[in-house]
Structure 1
Amino acid sequence: MKIMYAATSEQENYIHYLLNYFYTDVFPYYFDDEQIRQFEEWGILSLNDGHVAYNGTMKEAFQIISALQSLITVIEYIGEHGECDQYEWLFVRNQNILARHGITFPFRAKQFAHKRAMPCSVYVPAASQWVM
């Protein structure tokens, strides 16, 4: 018999926050709105891939959170510095961790080497609640 601990609701919420963070704070700097919309349709960074399921265990939640945080850090570094060779292995390692849990992230580190300074996207959160 093996005892499994379920992920807490805070961990689940944080996973969803990080997945959403990619769409609102990472992708708009590298892809246009049409491409991002396609990513949503394809189920990129979705927990419901269908092939391999995320079972909701605490261990899986920690692995997913760590992988997402690592990818965000690597992408932000690559976007600022433009060099990706030394972190390619870390990028791929975390990509594989996500794939084991059914989360698709089909990108290469080189795709994040050229960051836009000011993205104009519907995916970027509004700076305030007021709309003009």
Structure 2
Amino acid sequence: MKVLFASTKEQEEKINELVNYFYSDIFPYYYEDEEIAEFKSIGVLKIEKHHFEKIGTLKDAYQVIASLQTIIVILEEKIHKKMNKRYEELFNHNVQILNKFTIPFPFFYTQFNSNQKISTESFSIYKSAANEMLI
């Protein structure tokens, strides 16, 4: 007998939170607003109910969470400095994990070019606010 533990609602929320982080804190440093809007329209990182059905166990959910977090860390570091070949291999491995769960992430490591990145001071409708004031 084998006992499996189903993924939790909190894990699903964390996955959605990481996807939102891509759109608000990663993509704006590499792509223009029009390109990011196109990513949304074609369903990049769009996770629907059937994805969560495929991510059925705790192990699966943790794999997806870890893959998203790893890709985020690599791309955040790539904003500030040149990365070596090992990071590209790690990036590709984690993209393969997302593909295994049919989560659309149709990018190659080289598409996140730090030489062509958008200025950190630029404005984007997708970027998180640097500060918020409640009125």
TM-score by length of 1: 0.86
Number of corresponding residues: 131
Unaligned runs of 5+ residues in structure 1 are none
Q: Assess if the C-alpha contact under 8 Å between 1:48 and 1:102 holds in 2.
A: no
Percent identity, please.
Answer: 40
Aligned to 1:124: 127
Q: Assess if the C-alpha contact under 8 Å between 2:54 and 2:101 holds in 1.
A: yes
Aligned to 1:10: 10
In the TM superposition, structure 1's runs of 4+ consecutive aligned residues that sit over 6 Å from their partners are none
Map Cα deviations across residues 24-73 of structure 1 (whole Å, 9 max, x no partner): 0000111011111111111111123979x633321111000000011011
Aligned to 1:106: 106
Q: Which has the higher helix share?
A: 2
Alpha-carbon distance in structure 2 between the residues aligned to 1:43 and 1:49: 14
Unaligned runs of 5+ residues in structure 2 are none
CA distance 1:90–1:46, shift in 2 (3 Å) = same
CA distance 1:42–1:50, shift in 2 (3 Å) = farther
SS at match of 1:5: coil
Alpha-carbon distance in structure 1 between the residues aligned to 2:81 and 2:32: 21
Alpha-carbon distance in structure 2 between the residues aligned to 1:100 and 1:54: 10
Alpha-carbon distance in structure 2 between the residues aligned to 1:93 and 1:60: 15
Matches within 5 A, 1:19-98: 19-48=19-48, 54-98=54-98
Letter in 2 for 1:128: E
Alpha-carbon distance in structure 1 between the residues aligned to 2:83 and 2:59: 32
Map Cα deviations across residues 76-108 of structure 1 (whole Å, 9 max, x no partner): 122211335331110100000000011111112
Q: Assess if the C-alpha contact under 8 Å between 2:5 and 2:58 holds in 1.
A: yes
SS at match of 2:54: coil
SS at match of 1:29: helix
CA distance 1:22–1:84, shift in 2 (3 Å) = farther
